[in-house]
Chains A and B, each alone.
Chain A
């Protein structure tokens, strides 16, 4: 799930209209036709059976010594206590959070800059946009294999030819630098989705606002900071929240580039969790997954709260 799916933003909830019309038709308090439930319940049941129920069972097992089969007994919170002192777990969180933070900043700055440029008066705008969006439709694992070749062979070859020391060895084999390759490829893949959302936000800003502010003598940078940025805050928010969520769950790109190595230098939380399936520490990794879920939700909430009230509506 590395495709960063863009989302409707809370610019205009538009809820009132729908509810008013259906109240007028159905009348409040009257029982709805049963068929409405037949429309909704399949989705609810499938979601419950395949996602919510397994999640609940998994969280339950995180309080036990279950190994994935056979008998189990309650352990209370000791799995969770063990997590807090496990260097392998702590390293994976350190790597994943750092990687997500760097990637989201890089991807959003580049996506916004490209979107601003694309919505100016330029030549060949549709073709340029069409090319820039291509990475969005490509498979993360395959893209990572291609870049694996480039980082391992092509980049060192070029570096050697021009005599640039630091890149003469493959950065994928360097425990301190391998994460940069993952940042680059993850950003490369997720910039297009963010770019399209920003393009939508930017085209919705009326030209009059820019004309008025330039009459007031605002510089281009001031225009961007005082007109553009406040009006697209909602889009920045949704891009950032979904971007961070995606990067926190990173797996495909890492598998294709470094497989978590060298050593465990680029082991993401997702990779550690999956090791619970083969490593016999199912319950322990479910405790890890539960913490991971709480961390993911908490980070999303922090982002939502931090930007609340900053968004300006037209």
Chain B
């Protein structure tokens, strides 16, 4: 409720003056985010001896990056990273292709019942948690030989579909149709119009949908751990469990490994923060 008190402090939306009280309160809230991240980084850079001394907040003394080297070997980092990347590429590619085409067809044929009902059908997935269909999906993927990274990528795309179609169709409704019509008069087919007119217009939404699909896929533990049969083909988040089961492993190695697993999404966030934040914001208001 601190924010509400803060509002009293500023006296509503006065045009002059910025509130230091609120700024400090929000800064304290940021500490709940920054402290766990600081602990992760500092633990990763400690020696094994210092990492078990019980003081999580102390600075590494001396700096010892050897935990990263050990984590690199233990998690077979290049392999796990490559598999995570492959899964994410399949998930993002499939999500973007299927949902943009479907959303375009649905929005431009909204007066036809088949297209309207298709949207309802696809959106039903929003209410379908993965655990409900997990057991038969494990069977299905094993049956058709997709019980590996490819199957995980496909399933990630399936569970991302509803949200993505919704975002694309909301955005497409706000795109003026005149450009498409003039392209049609110039003799372009619907297929050409989609790739040359609609896809460039969808640019910002493609970034947003793609980033969300990437984050959901890269960070997931549940699906790969259940679907992938061969432990050698596991993704980066799943292989982190070796630090839970092997008691002999040192904390500095574990945290170095956690940091390497989190780094790619943090990097994506640093560079694409604009798309993540404005995407959610626009998506929420525009639709």
Which residues does A use to contact B, with CB under 8 Å? 1-3, 5-15, 17-19, 21-23, 25-26, 28, 32-33, 35-37, 39-40, 42-44, 46-47, 50-51, 53-55, 57-58, 61, 68, 109, 112-118, 120-124, 128-143, 145-150, 153-154, 157, 188, 193, 196-197, 199-201, 203-204, 207, 210-211, 214, 219-221, 223-224, 235, 242, 245, 248-249, 251-252, 255-256, 269-270, 273-274, 276-277, 282, 285-286, 289-290, 292-293, 296-297, 300
Contact = CB atoms under 8 A, between A and B. Distances in A.
B281 A137 contact: no
B106 A6 contact: no
Contact of B108 (A36, A188, A282): A36
Contacts of A44: 102, 118, 121-122
A278 B25 CA distance: 48
Given A43-B99, A276-B135, A220 B240 contact: no
A9 B140 contact: no
Given A121-B18, A139-B262, A57 B281 contact: no
Counting chain B CB atoms within 10 Å of each CB, which of A17, A40, A286 scores highest?
Answer: A40
Given A128-B26, A145-B240, A146-B36, A289 B135 contact: yes
Nearest to A51: B158
B216 A51 contact: no
Given A141-B221, A150-B36, A26 B135 contact: no
A23 B111 contact: yes
Counting chain B CB atoms within 10 Å of each CB, which of A15, A47, A109 scores highest?
Answer: A47
A68 B109 contact: no
B20 to A, nearest CB: 7
B108 A22 contact: yes
A116 B4 contact: yes
Given A145-B254, A293-B128, A273 B135 contact: yes
A37 B121 CA distance: 15
A235 B287 CA distance: 12
B26 A138 contact: no
B187 interface: no
Nearest to B37: A134
Contacts of A149: 39, 43, 56, 251, 254-255
Nearest to B223: A1
Interface in B154-205: 154-155, 157-159, 161, 163, 165-167, 170, 172-174, 177, 181, 189-191, 194
B125 A117 contact: no
Contacts of A6: 280, 283-284
A122 B33 contact: no
B69 interface: no
Given A14-B174, A137-B266, A137-B268, A19 B4 contact: no
A8 B283 contact: yes
A193 B29 contact: no
Contacts of B108: 18, 22, 26, 36
Given A23-B111, A114-B3, A122 B22 contact: yes
Chain B contact residues: over half helix, strand or loop, or mixed? helix
Contacts of B261: 139, 142
A14 B110 CA distance: 12
A210 B269 CA distance: 34
Given A47-B122, A131-B30, A293-B129, A32 B112 contact: yes
B89 interface: no
Interface string B110-128: 1110010010011001111
Contacts of B55: 157
A9 to B, nearest CB: 6
A139 B265 contact: yes
Given A145-B240, A255-B221, A276-B135, A120 B7 contact: yes
Given A39-B102, A42-B98, A51 B128 contact: yes
A255 B126 CA distance: 23
Contacts of B284: 6-9, 196-197, 200-201, 235
Chain A contact residues: over half helix, strand or loop, or mixed? helix
Counting chain B CB atoms within 10 Å of each CB, which of A51, A235, A286 scores highest?
Answer: A51
Given A6-B284, A120-B7, A124-B23, A21 B177 contact: yes
B134 A274 contact: yes
B107 interface: yes
A145 B237 CA distance: 11
Interface string B23-64: 101110110111011011001000000000011110000000
B68 interface: no
A220 B8 contact: yes
B137 A142 contact: no
Contact of B136 (A42, A54, A113): A54
Nearest to A286: B135
Nearest to A12: B287
Given A23-B111, A210-B12, A277-B138, A137 B276 contact: yes
Nearest to B173: A18
B2 interface: yes
Contact of A134 (B111, B155, B170, B266): B266
A42 B140 contact: no
B133 A40 contact: no
Given A147-B36, A224-B4, A128 B23 contact: yes
B287 A9 contact: yes
A87 to B, nearest CB: 20
Contact of B131 (A17, A47, A157, A273): A273
A19 B240 CA distance: 50
